[in-house]
Amino acid sequence: MHDRGVTRAGTGTRPPLWQLTLLAALGVPRAVAHDLELVGSGVNTLLALAPPVCWVLVVLLARIPDPLRTLTKVGACHGVLLGAVHQVLWRIAYDGDPPRLGGDLAGLPEVAHVVITRGFAFGSSVVTGVLVGVFVGLVAWGLGYVLRR
C-alpha cells in the first residue's frame, strides 16, 4: 500500500495544504504590525525574516522531497494572506488618505481609483509572496543538498 503523501524513496512527506497555509500565516503578524505601525524597524525586520527561516527549518527537518515547489506554494499562500491583511487594514493604514491615480487617470471616477489601487496592491502582495517562496525554496534546496553530502 502506497501513502500518497510519502515519496517513493520514503525520504519525506509532502505536506497538505493546511500545513502550508499555517507556515504562510507566520508572516501575518508582520503585515498587521507594519500596517498599524505597531513596531519599529528592528522588530519589523525580525518579523519579516523569522517566517522564511522557519520555512527552511521545517522543510529541512521534515525532509520535504521538493523544497522549491513546497516553499513556492507557501510563498503564494503567504502573498494571498498578506494581500488580504492589507485590504482589511487599508483605511487604517492610509489614515483616510488612500493612494490615488495621477496624470491622465486622475479624473477617473472614485470607484476606479479604489479598484485599481487596491487591485494592484493585492496583486503585488501575491507576486512578492511567490518570489519570496521561490527564493527561500532555492535556499532550502541548496542547504538540503549540502547537508545530504
Contacts of 33 (CB under 8 A, 6+ apart): 39, 43, 44, 47
Distance CA 88, CA 36 (A): 11
Q: What's the pLDDT at 10?
A: 38
Q: What's the pLDDT at 7?
A: 43
Q: What's the pLDDT at 1?
A: 43
Distance CA 112, CA 48 (A): 32
Distance CA 140, CA 25 (A): 19
Task: Provide the 8-state DSSP code for 13.
Answer: B
Q: Closest by alpha carbon to 71, among 11, 143, 2?
A: 143
The series of mean pLDDT values per 10 residues for the chain, 149 residues long, is 44 82 96 94 95 96 94 97 96 88 91 94 97 98 92
Q: What's the pLDDT at 11?
A: 56
